[in-house]
Amino acid sequence: MGDPKKQRKKYNTPRFPWRTDTMQEELKLLGQYGLRNKRELWRHETMLSNFRSIARSLIGQTPEQRQKRENELLARLKRIGLLPETAVLDDVLDLALEDLLERRLQTIVLRKGLAKTMQQSRQLITHGHVAVGNQRIRTPSYIVTKPDENQIIYSSNTPLANPAHPLRQTLVAPPPTSEHTEPKDERAFQEGDSLTEEKS
């Protein structure tokens, strides 16, 4: 069978990882998008960096030389929802890391209201409760394409497929209104009045 293929790193680390601004920005994104560790963040940074590198290399070529690769790159980025249909090659250089993080399955599950928090969204995915179409996906970092975005549902093989499941009820339940809850100070005041009347 031969030797197994050498596993290579799928990400590049920051050039100056100890800088305060770099660490603060990374921690902010880790919390905002529910990432497990910095390696997960660096993988997305590397992916975005590769897109930009391809775009920069194409900009320096003549239109005849770059036409095919430019169309392929733009079609791919439009398909995964990073660029609008009217985008051009220069728009690739304006992409931010947040644009790519918004296309993660974990993020879209939350945005669609299938989970209440990023952490819950990640848990639902890793436990196999989320499907894209008919395929169950267990990878929170899965990049969702535009055609698949409307096919994200609870997997039919899990208890969450039942609309009466308690977790789904909490997602659709309206928050309690003030007219159903009496302020604590007002209740204490009324109780004090009743005690005063009884003593008198």
Identify the pLDDT of residue 195: 40
The closest alpha carbon to 42, from 117, 118, 125, 141, belongs to 141
pLDDT exceeds 90 at position 1:
no
The half-sphere exposure of 173 on its side-chain side, counting CA atoms within 13 A, is 11
What confidence tier does 173 reach under pLDDT thresholds 50, 70, 90? low
Q: How confident is the model over 119-153, as pLDDT tens digits?
A: 999 999 999 999 999 999 999 999 999 999 999 99
Q: Which stretch of DSSP H or E encloses residue 97?
A: helix 97-101
The closest alpha carbon to 58, from 78, 88, 100, belongs to 88
pLDDT over 90, % of the chain: 64
Q: How far is CA 116 from CA 28, 41, 113, 120, 123, in A?
A: 19, 22, 7, 7, 11
What confidence tier does 58 reach under pLDDT thresholds 50, 70, 90? very high
Neighbours of 19 (CB within 10 A): 11
Contact between 154 and 129 under an 8 Å Cβ cutoff? The reply is: yes
Token duo for residue 133: 């179409």
Place of tokens 């305060």: 20
Identify the pLDDT of residue 188: 44
Question: Nearest 5°: phi and psi at 73?
Answer: -65, -50
Q: How confident is the model over 31-49, as pLDDT tens digits?
A: 999 999 999 999 999 999 9
Neighbours of 183 (CB within 10 A): 9
What confidence tier does 169 reach under pLDDT thresholds 50, 70, 90? confident
Greatest C-alpha distance within the chain: 98
The C-alpha atoms of residue 88 and residue 86 are separated, in whole angstroms, by 7
| Structural domains in the chain plus CATH codes | 20-100 (no CATH), 105-172 (3.10.290.10)
**Distance, first Cα to last Cα, the chain:** 96
What confidence tier does 70 reach under pLDDT thresholds 50, 70, 90? very high
The C-alpha atoms of residue 156 and residue 164 are separated, in whole angstroms, by 14
Mean per-residue pLDDT over the chain, rounded: 85
pLDDT over 70, % of the chain: 81
The C-alpha atoms of residue 10 and residue 56 are separated, in whole angstroms, by 21
The C-alpha atoms of residue 191 and residue 185 are separated, in whole angstroms, by 10
Identify the pLDDT of residue 194: 45
